[in-house]
């Protein structure tokens, strides 16, 4: 008998599209800040660094953060700011977007072509891709992909400048560790990004290319 699918923490759906199930819209009041217990659980997450921007972002509180309980490697660990108030679709299909969501997940190689219109760049000293009109940014660092999604391009970019580990030492504004892999970027790369990609630890991109060429028929 297959194992049951991992369950997400009960409090998280009120931060996502579940708030938008009614035609009337999402939550009507301000979201409560994250509990000390929930924050403490995230601070002891053992597998890798989980990134956040502190207890609030532009006056919006941190309302939930994931920890080891119900951890799903496929979706990683997320920090959620605010709720979906005022951003429901008329059909209540969960299209609302949080003021800010930051997800840290172990990188799995895949082409970025499916992201649509995008721009490759360097942010916080590491390769990054900006898409969804600037509202979503993925930074490639260590063995992780760090996705920052916000309601506006300005908020998403501001958040990338305040990233710091929740469960490890580190300060906002510090350069992130370079990726230990070669990110599967799609489309043009500016010269300064190409230089960094060519000088990743252990020549990750050169090694990846050689492996692909060796596997080709």
Domain-located, residue 2:
no
Domain-located, residue 4:
no
Domain-located, residue 6:
no
Domain-located, residue 5:
no
Q: The domain containing residue 150 runs over which residues? A: 12-215
Q: Return the SS3 of 3.
A: coil
Gap between the Cα atoms of 122 and 171, Å rounded: 19
Predicted pLDDT at 29: 63
List, as one string, the DSSP characters of 142-190. Answer: BTEEEEEEESSHHHHHHHHTT-EESSSS--TTPPPPPBSS-----S---
Domain-located, residue 1:
no
Domain-located, residue 19:
yes
Predicted pLDDT at 16: 43
**Tokens 């891709």 — which residue?**
129
Predicted pLDDT at 155: 97
Predicted pLDDT at 206: 93
Predicted pLDDT at 209: 77
**Structurally, how many domains does the chain consist of?**
1
pLDDT less than 50: residues of the chain: 1-27, 86-93, 214, 216
Domain-located, residue 195:
yes
- The shares of helix, strand and coil residues in the chain, as percent rounded to the nearest 5, are 25, 25, 50
């Amino acid at each position: 008998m297959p194992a049951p699918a991992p369950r997400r923490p009960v409090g998280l759906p009120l931060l996502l599209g579940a708030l938008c199930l009614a035609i009337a819209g999402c939550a009507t009041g301000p979201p409560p800040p994250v509990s000390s217990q929930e924050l403490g659980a995230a601070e002891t997450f053992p597998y890798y660094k989980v990134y956040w921007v502190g207890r609030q972002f532009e006056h919006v509180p941190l309302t939930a953060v994931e920890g080891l309980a119900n951890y799903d490697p496929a979706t990683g660990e997320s920090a959620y700011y605010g709720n979906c108030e005022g951003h429901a679709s008329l059909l209540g299909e969960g299209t609302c977007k949080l003021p800010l969501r930051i997800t840290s997940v172990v990188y799995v190689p895949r082409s970025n072509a499916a992201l649509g219109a995008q721009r490759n760049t360097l942010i916080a000293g590491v390769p990054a891709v900006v898409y969804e009109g600037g509202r979503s940014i993925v930074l490639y660092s260590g063995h992780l992909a760090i996705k920052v999604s916000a309601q506006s391009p300005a908020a998403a970019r501001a958040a990338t400048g305040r990233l710091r580990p929740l469960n490890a030492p580190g300060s906002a504004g510090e350069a992130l560790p370079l990726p230990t892999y070669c990110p599967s970027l799609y489309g043009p790369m500016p010269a300064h990004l190409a230089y960094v990609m060519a000088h990743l630890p252990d020549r990750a991109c050169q090694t990846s290319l050689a492996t692909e060429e060796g596997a080709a028929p």
